[in-house]
Structure 1
Amino acid sequence: MITPRQTTLFPTPDLATFHHTLAGCLASASPWELRDTVVLVPSRAAAVQLQWTLESIQLDRQSAVCQPRLLTRDEFYGELHRRLDPRPSLLSPIERLVWIRAAAEAAVAVGANPPFKLRPGLVSEFIAFYDELRRHDRTVEAFERLMVGELDASAEHDRGARRMLRQTRFLALMYRYYETRLTDSGSVDEHRLRERALDAGLYLPIRHVVVTTGDQATGTEGLWPADITLLARLSGLEKVDVVSTVAVLDAGWRARIETLWPGIEVCFCESVSRETTRLVVPIDGDGRRHFVWRDREEELLAVARDVKARDPAERTAVVFQRPLPYLYLARQVFTSADLPFDAHDTLPLAAEPFAAALDLVLAFAASGHARVPTLELLRSPHFDFRSDDKPLAAREISRFDQALVDARYAGDAATLASLAERWRSGGGRGRTAVAIATVVGRLADELAPLTETASASTLLDCLLTFLERYRPDPEPDDDPESRSARARAAVVGLVRELRDAHRQHDDPEADLFWVTSTLRRLIEGATFAAQSGGAGVSLLDASAARYGRFDTVILAGLVDGEWPERSRQSALYPASLTGQFGWAREIDRLRAGRAAFDDLLSLARSRVLVSTVAFEDDAVATASVLLEDLQESGLDLQAEPTPSGRVTLEAGLAETPERVPLAGEMARWFDLRLARGIEVGPARRGAMGPQAALQYSVSGVERYLSCPFKYFASSVLRLGEEPHDELIMTPRTRGRFVHEVLRAFFEAWAAAGQCAIDGDSLEAARELVREVAERHLAELPPRDRAVERAWLLGSPAAAGVVDRLLLFEVERPGLVRERLLEHPFDDRFTFSGPKGDQVVQLRGIADRIDLLDGGQLRIVDYKTGRAPNRKVSVQLPVYGRCAEQQLHERDGQDWVVVDAGYVAFGEPHGWVPLDRRATVDQAMADGQERFLTAVAGIESGAFPARPVEPFRCQYCEYPTVCRKDYVGDE
């Protein structure tokens, strides 16, 4: 039996009257009656604002402050469930996800194959489409009948229609399996709950419902046709009041109400607003009625300046369409400006740090324990990994990282275990990594079930056990209600709820990919309540702002796509097909968005400001078309200058640092910076003052010549380079390998009583070098051998490195008496420059020095790529000069360099002389001069950012410490 009820529509001319009408609808109810009264609001943030508004109106009237239940649509259905007797089991969203997935697998098993692969994201779309279908009071049978009738005629000739027809039959069968299981289990979802409430009634009836939202065409938080049917037929419901502004009603909501609620009584409301809202416009805006800021951060800075310039007692609201990025920026900007604010919108759970920590665990398992995921997991502050009951030190993890790099570790627990054994027996730096390798091996073993195919609950239980086992112990002063603690609880709760749902309802075989994609999808769709403060500037979305009372309202971020907000389109069907089921039309949403914007313009009791931004993530942003409505708003204009002045701590430190109150370490650092001044002198351009003479390495001096600041970062600051995974041989690794092969070959050649290589001994040399190369290739990891063998020994398509080297040996003039291989220099040597001779302490290793007949020397340097830039190369001249002096002391005879060059295997001709444009003597003299100039620069303390090849700055190892803006000034 349907209870007779009074249904009334209250059109209000503005939002102030909207608030008073809501209060009036509740005024006649006693506190006891208010227990069975529900006010439907779009969100929790709207409920908070409406509660404050109702309280302030009741206080103005000097009446008792009693509140009804302010509920969102989802909370209203939860209230219906609590008032049922007997109370059936209500499926959670995650349980429904599990049920729909099981229904989809069942449909596929009987031959209803969809035209796509089942993925977690699509399963969520199946649920969304089913809900929207049922909320429009459409059954699965009606859906299949209408869709098949629409598509069947063209399926024979249209491949797209044929695919959609297959999809429709799959979805219809899947939904039937889902509904059959609901019936058999006795559980309910939202739709079965609605049917149960209509059929059986509530044992504690809801007597009065006040609808303050529109329908789905007016906003995503509005009512659906099925909700209106529920309110029209629910047993025990005696009164339904619908309160809305005239603007929203005229945008189409009135026509839809009268269709869904025929005979609804209309009670017009007179305006109670006594204040006149003034539209603030910029003085220098050239006729614009809105403010334009560079980006959203500048927009909030302008808000801070405006609020600080006005009476603190005034209530100000910053109204946006989407909470992000405003909620994040407000914590930065308003906190720095010492401006209190409150926000009740939810943040995406995926943005919380612990969500990323969960991803680290999954990436560690999925990568086969590769170096980077392993290091990221070990360094995460969200886990407590220990070795011998001691926390892992950051320095030990860095040493372990370097040991992995040196070993060219690419993943796999067995490989890591063998490395640990090698490090344990080898000593040195590797031994310090054994303890951490043991920890990583233990973690890999504990997560091993994740890498196998098993039941979904087993995999999720393994993950949960890992998260709980390595949860850090709370500190004594940790707040259990802190944002980080609640975020961790939310993420772990999602994993636990998914595990329990699979264990209870359906537990299919799954793998790590399924676990990862499902959890990521759930976390990306979840939100996280993170309230901020309780007073100050209110940060509100547009739907919640309608329920508040404010002196100043700032409508922020009016860009295209947000004002009005774009509607979400179905991922399964185009709008041309869903329209027949009652899906809201885009034109209706646009009209409702424009009407809601017009209402917000008159929300403030005093001032309203409208602003947009010019850039979004450094891309040009398009202003909203709603800005055109400002010309026709009819509001009084109030011209004000653009807000300016210092409001944040950062601005104060930059402009008037002496007036910023600081204490402790901050004050001492500030005094140091203040004493140094802000003038850009030589000290800010890399000048450190005279430095003591050192023992120089040739490679270090060449680094100085390529860029003085790189030398400073590596040799003075001793900043290490970021290690990189070497899944294949890097040029540096390949260079070391080739040097070792060639050194071993020439040593073996000399041990065989040979020295020079000519046409007669070429074949013997080729056989020996191949034998030596194969011996060294066998020591490489299997993944490198084939590539390096082809590069070193050649293939039918191209000659190898060793063949090119042997041809060079045959072709170069001069009879070789002896070869000095990997020859070290570590002494004081004399070099000649424009200012005369100079003694320099030097160390280095020459790849090869050939001693020829007649006291002549040839200096050879191997390069696996191309020869270096002559402007930064000093190796050959320096090593030649050192060899002349060292061999003179050794042999007592004079030696002179007559040939020097690079055996560059990346060059077309292989042999690159020291300087093709000059004689050997001149090239040696030029090289010594460059060397001494660099040494003088180092000892004078000149380390400017001055690269010889500026394009290499983008590959520099020290970008975070380099003053790149000075490069062009030098």
Structure 2
Amino acid sequence: MLNVPDLATFQKTIGTCLGDTGPWNRRSTVVLVSSRGAADQLRWTLEQQTLVAGTALALPRLLTRDGLYSELHRRTHDPPPLLKAVERLVCGWAAANDAIASGVEPPFRLRPGLVSQFLTLYDELRRRHRSVDAFERLLVAELEPNAEFDRGARRLLRQTRFLAAMFRAYERRVALSGQLDEHGLRELVIDRGLRRPLHHVVVTVPDRAAGPDGLWSGDYDLLARLPDVVRIDLVATSGMLTAGMRERLNDLLPGVNETRLESSRSGRPRLVVPADGAGRRYFTWRDREEELLGIIRRVKQRSSGERTAVVFQRPLPYLYLAGHLFPSAGVPFETRDTFPLAAEPFAAAVDLVLSFVSSGHARLPAIELLRSPHFRFECEGSLLDPSAVTECDRALLDARYLGGRGELRRLATAWAANAKDRRASSAAFVAATVAHELDDLSQPGPSTSLLNCLLRFFERHRALPPADPDIASRESRGRAAVVGLIRDLRDAHVLHDDPVVDLPALAATLRRLLEAATFAMFSDTGGVTFLDVRAARYGVFDSVSLVGLLDGEWPERTRQSSLYPTSLLMQLGWSRDVERLRAARAGLADLLGLAADRVSVSTVSLEEDVVVAGSALLEDLEDTNQPLVFEAPPKGRVTAEAGLAEVPDAVSLVGVSAEWLELRRWRGVATGNRHRGDVGPRPPAKYAVSGVERYLSCPFKYFASVVLKLGEEPDDELTMSPRTRGRFVHEVFRAFFERWQGEGLGDIDVEHLDRARALAREVAEERLAELPARDRPVERIWLLGSPAGMGVFDRLLSLEAEHPDGVIDRLLEHRFDGDFQLEGVDGPRTVRLRGIADRVDLLEGNRVRVIDYKTGRVPGRGRALQLPVYGRCAEQELTSRDGRPWSIDSAAYVAFGEARPWVSLERNQQIGKAVAQGERRFLEAVDGIERGQFLVRPDQPRLCAYCEYPTVCRKDYVGDG
């Protein structure tokens, strides 16, 4: 065991170990590293060491732990083939079903995600030298005494017995398959040895307790028992050894020799800290994008020959951001990391296909699939026109299509007979044909049958590659990786088990496989190197920036087992979280000394606009003994986008180019509210009361809907939309009161309540019969209630009985249209307006009551206009009609979304005052409309998330008005 003080000596010691091995044995030498990116960095470092020394070096095998097992398999004499990860998953699922068939039931329902966790637990047990028998014996002995009176212990006991049965069934299936997993390979190598033995092994990774890339106790046992290995070197920094690794290695490898080495470096790099006087030894940026922009600015200020590294714990979103920011700034960068395969566009295309089938061929999934650029759909021998898909979308919405292949084909046939709908028909026929091609996915069947259906669809509708060669290359590789994964799953089912599954189970399995898979996106253009903490330990850099030191990332949050509590797992050899934390602190201390010249540390305040906390490891910076360099965060625009925002002083352009430049310069200067929604004076008009109420909710929404006349984005509703339901309820209530008054009845009081309920049911059933069959059950419960609760009709009638008030007549859905006088701050004023009051009740004594139905909740008091304005209009209209004065007596919302549905307008104040306030609000809003002030000023900013006009709204101006 070689104990080195820092990472520079760590790298040099690895090279020295290899130099002690003769060139003939170098190809039988293995260096264990943490990742493929680490192997690339170490290869470059070894080449640099050789170049400086002026010698030649035959490189050894630089392998990860998984790579070591593949190498051992390759060197074993005539071994059985190794099981792929997807084959092990299929065997695990079959083993779980075998255990259930044997009578051992789990205390939960089996799901694909759980089977993956079961296999993870099995692997960890075997890697820690625990057999299935030992697992069952230890946990049963711990749980059984408490199972009689502790339900949790009883559940864990059932789980343990099921898992033990499943693990044994899995081992039997692997044995019958004639293949090997890593545990079988480990036993085979120890038992038979290697056909081509390894000569020298250099271990540069820690143990598993120190990090997720470390070796397990079973791995150390394998290395110690490999026949014909002449030498095993363990290289580790003193920080890692002091953090607990030394004690654990002494337990695993008794008698291991430790040699302390002196540092090969004369000093430590300088730590760059903010020059703001706050005393912090790290930079805090707003978000990760600003963090990378700060690094770009610093790189541009320094020598182009300087080798710079950006070191992160989690690759995303840094790699995505770097792909945009660094090329825009003209700064080259390279990475050797991998991306999640699930983030590739073709993986999302798979989800489109699965969603289309699982939704029953609903409108939105169908349209999204037809619009996908990853598939090619043809109609009558020619490519499907995108505009036909748009027309089909609108036609399906108008038809209230909710799914069904037969209904899709019926609509397509009906539209084909109409020239106006023929384009929509072509897209509908294509969707129906696609639904037929995917029919195998819509019903349970053998797994291979469903997967073959999916693969045939991908091949039949493969799109042409994009024109851009770089995009085409990436999409082609991403598609090949996704299709290859699906093909591997199908082949695994062919070889090991082909159960009958339905689409939800298959989709869950595919999604988990895609989420677990990675996709290599290497770039070797030179420049700033992006790499994770594992790979950084092997690199040589002049400057290092440690980024994203956030809580949960530094140290990386350990994933707790969902099967057993930590207290039970520790009895099986699991390590404690504190050991991982100590190793993370030691790892950070090592990275602070990685650079040859300077190192900086940074964190961020926001993650997707949510406040986040910095890492606890930032406190360790106070204890470092490195020399400090105080620097202010660099400023200035460095990307092309930022440069386009600048206003040039003078540019020699003529013609159209000069006109465009002048336009851009003019738009960049301060123009008050001109570009914030102030469009200038508008002539008076006839105002809809509901429209003016919308103006108070947000002036820009009024502008978009009334001035620009933009339609709202349609959406599918499995039941009635809130707006459609509101209209339906209004119609039913109007029909009821017309019948009620037609019988010569007035107030609905306690005496007449039973008669009112009978009539309400009669009217409701008549109206429900006019609805589509799919809507009737839900709307019947909404209107008439159920044993679980009252319907809105019962609630309305109960409210009427509580507020009789001597009704003489009811004006139902009463329309106001004309000139009315409203009282403003400056006195009375005539306004042209229109609107429909849900109900105006004429009460004894020339009194008026206005009622407004709401299926949801009442509007806020600051924008409630309909009740006060309609009340004033009713006063004036009735007075003019009858020649005697009428006065508003009360006004109320009947809001079924409120806990107390009857909500009076006056709310503990005089009705006259409440109406006067509403009049003033209305006139102030009209003044704003006529001044052309349509600022983005929602009365509740949180509702911006549900705005009907998100694509035209300037949300960056929210609050400016």
The answer, yes or no, to whether TM exceeds 0.5 is: yes
Whether contact under 8 Å (1:350, 1:524) holds in the other structure is yes
Tell me how far apart the structure 1 counterparts of residues 650 and 226 of structure 2 sit (CA, whole Å).
Answer: 66
Cross-structure match for 1:338: 330
Q: Identity rate of aligned residues, in percent?
A: 53
Give the counterpart letter for 2:215 in structure 1: L
Once the two structures are overlaid, the 10-residue window that deviates more, 273-282 or 762-771, is 762-771
Whether contact under 8 Å (2:799, 2:902) holds in the other structure is no
1:962 aligns with 2:935: no
Whether contact under 8 Å (1:690, 1:941) holds in the other structure is yes
| DSSP 3-state at the match of 2:201 | strand
1:529 aligns with 2:517: no
Change (3 A) 1:415 1:863: farther
Once the two structures are overlaid, the 10-residue window that deviates more, 575-584 or 90-99, is 575-584
Tell me how far apart the structure 2 counterparts of residues 520 and 659 of structure 1 sit (CA, whole Å).
Answer: 55
Once the two structures are overlaid, the 10-residue window that deviates more, 120-129 or 180-189, is 180-189
After TM superposition, the structure 1 = structure 2 runs for residues 875-886 of structure 1, keeping only pairs within 5 Å, are none
1:383-435 per-residue CA deviation (whole Å, 9 max, x = no partner) reads: 3334444555555444433444444433333444555566567x697665433
Tell me how far apart the structure 2 counterparts of residues 748 and 164 of structure 1 sit (CA, whole Å).
Answer: 65
| DSSP 3-state at the match of 1:35 | helix
Tell me how far apart the structure 1 counterparts of residues 153 and 782 of structure 2 sit (CA, whole Å).
Answer: 54
Cross-structure match for 2:18: 26
After TM superposition, the structure 1 = structure 2 runs for residues 721-800 of structure 1, keeping only pairs within 5 Å, are 721-737=712-728, 776-786=767-777, 788=779
Cross-structure match for 1:351: 343
Whether contact under 8 Å (1:275, 1:606) holds in the other structure is no
| Structure 1 vs Structure 2 CA RMSD | 5.0
Tell me how far apart the structure 2 counterparts of residues 588 and 805 of structure 1 sit (CA, whole Å).
Answer: 66
Whether contact under 8 Å (2:465, 2:472) holds in the other structure is no
Change (3 A) 1:955 1:209: closer
Tell me how far apart the structure 2 counterparts of residues 210 and 504 of structure 1 sit (CA, whole Å).
Answer: 38
Give the counterpart letter for 1:375 in structure 2: I
Change (3 A) 1:789 1:422: farther
Of 360, 377, 400 in structure 1, the residue corresponding to residue 352 of structure 2 is: 360
Whether contact under 8 Å (2:89, 2:116) holds in the other structure is yes
Change (3 A) 1:233 1:653: same
Tell me how far apart the structure 1 counterparts of residues 20 and 786 of structure 2 sit (CA, whole Å).
Answer: 96
Cross-structure match for 2:5: 13
Give the counterpart letter for 1:588 in structure 2: E
1:52 aligns with 2:44: yes
Give the counterpart letter for 1:165 in structure 2: L
Cross-structure match for 2:552: 561
Of 160, 171, 183 in structure 1, the residue corresponding to residue 175 of structure 2 is: 183
Cross-structure match for 1:4: none
Whether contact under 8 Å (2:813, 2:836) holds in the other structure is no
Once the two structures are overlaid, the 10-residue window that deviates more, 393-402 or 295-304, is 393-402
Whether contact under 8 Å (1:403, 1:433) holds in the other structure is yes
Tell me how far apart the structure 1 counterparts of residues 829 and 248 of structure 2 sit (CA, whole Å).
Answer: 98
Tell me how far apart the structure 2 counterparts of residues 664 and 221 of structure 1 sit (CA, whole Å).
Answer: 62
Cross-structure match for 1:280: 272
Whether contact under 8 Å (2:647, 2:665) holds in the other structure is no
Whether contact under 8 Å (1:12, 1:244) holds in the other structure is yes
Once the two structures are overlaid, the 10-residue window that deviates more, 264-273 or 125-134, is 264-273
TM-superposed CA distance for 1:635, in Å, is 2.1
Whether contact under 8 Å (1:652, 1:660) holds in the other structure is no
Cross-structure match for 2:77: 85
Higher CA-based Rg: 1
1:586-643 per-residue CA deviation (whole Å, 9 max, x = no partner) reads: 3333333222222222211111222333444445544434334334433223333333
TM-superposed CA distance for 1:72, in Å, is 0.8
Of 295, 303, 320 in structure 2, the residue corresponding to residue 303 of structure 1 is: 295
Of 365, 373, 376 in structure 2, the residue corresponding to residue 384 of structure 1 is: 376
| DSSP 3-state at the match of 1:684 | coil
Whether contact under 8 Å (2:31, 2:61) holds in the other structure is yes
TM-superposed CA distance for 1:320, in Å, is 2.1
Whether contact under 8 Å (2:313, 2:532) holds in the other structure is yes
Change (3 A) 1:281 1:911: closer
Whether contact under 8 Å (2:76, 2:195) holds in the other structure is yes
Of 158, 162, 168 in structure 2, the residue corresponding to residue 166 of structure 1 is: 158
Tell me how far apart the structure 1 counterparts of residues 282 and 186 of structure 2 sit (CA, whole Å).
Answer: 46
1:609 aligns with 2:600: yes
Give the counterpart letter for 2:771 in structure 1: L
1:206-255 per-residue CA deviation (whole Å, 9 max, x = no partner) reads: 22222111221232212222222222222343332222223323333334
Change (3 A) 1:699 1:421: farther
Change (3 A) 1:68 1:512: same
1:906-945 per-residue CA deviation (whole Å, 9 max, x = no partner) reads: 59899999xx9689xx99xx99x99999888767644344
Of 201, 212, 218 in structure 2, the residue corresponding to residue 209 of structure 1 is: 201
Tell me how far apart the structure 2 counterparts of residues 661 and 536 of structure 1 sit (CA, whole Å).
Answer: 34
Give the counterpart letter for 1:602 in structure 2: G
Tell me how far apart the structure 2 counterparts of residues 911 and 581 of structure 1 sit (CA, whole Å).
Answer: 67
Cross-structure match for 1:5: none
Give the counterpart letter for 2:521 in structure 1: A
| DSSP 3-state at the match of 1:50 | helix
After TM superposition, the structure 1 = structure 2 runs for residues 440-589 of structure 1, keeping only pairs within 5 Å, are 440-479=431-470, 482-589=473-580
Give the counterpart letter for 1:456 in structure 2: S
Cross-structure match for 1:72: 64
Change (3 A) 1:705 1:53: closer
1:679 aligns with 2:637: no
Change (3 A) 1:666 1:406: farther
Tell me how far apart the structure 1 counterparts of residues 218 and 328 of structure 2 sit (CA, whole Å).
Answer: 48
TM-superposed CA distance for 1:800, in Å, is 7.0
Change (3 A) 1:664 1:189: farther
Tell me how far apart the structure 2 counterparts of residues 764 and 604 of structure 1 sit (CA, whole Å).
Answer: 88
Gaps of 5+ in 1: 1-8, 851-855
Tell me how far apart the structure 2 counterparts of residues 284 and 805 of structure 1 sit (CA, whole Å).
Answer: 66
Whether contact under 8 Å (2:851, 2:867) holds in the other structure is no
1:622-673 per-residue CA deviation (whole Å, 9 max, x = no partner) reads: 4434334334433223333333333333444445666999999999876533
Tell me how far apart the structure 2 counterparts of residues 196 and 113 of structure 1 sit (CA, whole Å).
Answer: 33
Once the two structures are overlaid, the 10-residue window that deviates more, 580-589 or 101-110, is 580-589
Whether contact under 8 Å (2:388, 2:426) holds in the other structure is no
Once the two structures are overlaid, the 10-residue window that deviates more, 393-402 or 276-285, is 393-402
TM-superposed CA distance for 1:25, in Å, is 2.0
Give the counterpart letter for 1:114 in structure 2: P
TM-superposed CA distance for 1:73, in Å, is 1.1
Whether contact under 8 Å (2:177, 2:496) holds in the other structure is no
Tell me how far apart the structure 2 counterparts of residues 734 and 175 of structure 1 sit (CA, whole Å).
Answer: 55
| DSSP 3-state at the match of 1:539 | strand
TM-superposed CA distance for 1:844, in Å, is 9.2
| DSSP 3-state at the match of 2:525 | coil
| DSSP 3-state at the match of 1:782 | coil
Of 392, 407, 416 in structure 2, the residue corresponding to residue 400 of structure 1 is: 392
Once the two structures are overlaid, the 10-residue window that deviates more, 337-346 or 633-642, is 633-642
TM-superposed CA distance for 1:311, in Å, is 0.9
Whether contact under 8 Å (2:814, 2:839) holds in the other structure is yes
Tell me how far apart the structure 2 counterparts of residues 588 and 839 of structure 1 sit (CA, whole Å).
Answer: 76
Cross-structure match for 2:108: 116
1:438 aligns with 2:466: no
Whether contact under 8 Å (1:945, 1:963) holds in the other structure is yes
| DSSP 3-state at the match of 2:628 | strand
Of 241, 250, 254 in structure 1, the residue corresponding to residue 242 of structure 2 is: 250
Change (3 A) 1:859 1:646: same
1:239 aligns with 2:231: yes
Whether contact under 8 Å (1:317, 1:552) holds in the other structure is yes
Cross-structure match for 1:711: 702
Tell me how far apart the structure 1 counterparts of residues 894 and 629 of structure 2 sit (CA, whole Å).
Answer: 76
Whether contact under 8 Å (1:867, 1:912) holds in the other structure is no
Give the counterpart letter for 2:27 in structure 1: R
